[in-house]
Amino acid sequence: MKYYHLVSLGCPKNLVDSEIFAGIIEHTGFSHTEDPAEAEVIIINTCGFILPAKQEAIDTILKAAQLKTEGKCKKLIATGCLVKRYFDDLKRDIPEIDQLIDLKDFSAFAKLFESDENHRKQLTPAHYAYLRIADGCNNHCSYCAIPAIRGILISLPIEEVVRQAKIIAESGVQELIVTAQDTTQYGMDLYGERKLLPLLKELEKIEQLKWIRLLYLHPAHLSNELIDHICQSEKICHYFEIPLQHINDTLLQSMNRHVTGKRTIEIIKRIREKDPLATIRTTFIVGYPGETDEMYNELVEFVEEFRFERMGVFAYSEEEDTPAALLDHKVDEDVAEIRQDQLMGMQMDISSEIMRRWLGETMMVIIDDKSEDEDFDFVGRSQYDCPDIDGIVYINGQAKPGEIRKVKIVATWEYDLVAKIID
């Protein structure tokens, strides 16, 4: 038996690429192993977005390189965003890498194994899957290297997206997670206008799909019409992942976010008006060049007022070849980290309070897996939680992974819930 080991780093969009790589190599007779020491081939699909992600990718490659001397590994392959961004550097500095595959160069990978590239193996649990509807980005946020790595926006035609969604649904998937660099820009390149809403209406017609979850809704392109449709939909999760990044207008303009603080507040108020139970998940950047104490305090007051259900905070990471890297008035890294810690401390208290609102209430959850904690039978998620990003629901009762069940919340924690199955 020939084994391969695959490490997929970074975002769900990268995972979709990894699923194609996995499908190609398995088509040639290789089987996957979780133990890299058993693998003849190790594939690392890297992330190269910010410094911590780049460091994780390099560390992962070096660990795999060590296995070439200790294990069965005969071929070490690296691909993904880090390879796209630093191809020549990696080739020079890590000679243990046998093959560098450029970003999404599935044909080169297939040729390497004398296969074809029309394969994809689902790497998520059987009941949920990611569907990438576009790649690349035209937003050109000043701090972001993604357009330089993944290029301009390229959308799949609506017909192709629906075709892929039907295939995924027919395999038994209950939850379809729709992703892109900016899902709200979907279709601009093909149709001259945004087509996410018409696409969603087609996806909602697929009977086998029970939940449709949207990721990466850019606030500059999030229309009132789209908000209203999501909030009234019985199939689309009432879950808005909107990376706001800041609330101060001066910083938003410097970040090239194409949105104002006023419009940001309008979006939040509209969502909560249309569905008070809807979840808004957002991220903020602190320590961006020029962020004064007053600007940071404006963000603090904004978070205190609007109390987001899910929130992440990142200390600004300077990326070469981005406009933000050329800005003056740098913020000290220690100051940025203090601001990050303060906001996340606030968020823990906010989240704990929001979670307590669910005590004694009922909700529908999707059963993800058996629980590793002996006090509970299963772990699952509500429609308000994305896998591997948000909290989980610890569940007691009889069920099977992939089922969507009604539960009653019996305890709440800072980010997670405890429930028992009632139906």
Complete domains list, the chain, with CATH: 2-112 (3.40.50.12160), 128-356 (3.80.30.20), 362-421 (2.40.50.140)
Alpha helix ranges (H) inside 204-332: 224-232, 249-254, 261-274, 293-306
Q: Considering the chain, what percentage of its residues have pLDDT values greater than 90?
A: 85
The pLDDT tens digits for 412-421 are 999 999 999 9
Decide if 340 contacts 315 (C-beta within 8 A): yes
**Nearest in space to 19 (alpha carbons), one of 86, 97, 117, 165:** 117
The pLDDT tens digits for 254-278 are 999 999 999 999 999 999 999 999 9
The pLDDT tens digits for 325-364 are 999 999 999 999 999 999 999 999 999 999 999 999 999 9
The label of the residue with tokens 């499908």 reads 23
Which whole number is the average pLDDT over 11-29?
92
At residue 71, does pLDDT exceed 80?
A: no
Reading the block at residue 233, the tokens are 């939909």
Helix, strand, or coil here: 48?
A: coil
Decide if 236 contacts 200 (C-beta within 8 A): yes
**237-266 burial, b if ≥16 CB within 10 A, otherwise e?**
bbbbbbbbbbbbbebbebbebebebeebee
Q: Is residue 44 very low, low, confident or very high in pLDDT (cuts 50, 70, 90)? A: very high
C-alpha–C-alpha distance, residues 79 and 41, integer Å: 13
What pLDDT sits at residue 118?
A: 79
CA dihedral angle for residue 248, residue 254, residue 256, residue 258, rounded to 10 degrees: 40
List all residues 6 or more positions away from 99 whose beta carbon is below 8 Å from its beta carbon.
Answer: 75, 76, 77, 78, 112
What pLDDT sits at residue 78?
A: 95
At residue 93, does pLDDT exceed 80?
A: yes
Which whole number is the average pLDDT over 190-206?
98
C-alpha–C-alpha distance, residues 295 and 389, integer Å: 28
**Nearest in space to 235 (alpha carbons), one of 207, 214, 215, 210:** 210
C-alpha–C-alpha distance, residues 315 and 285, integer Å: 6
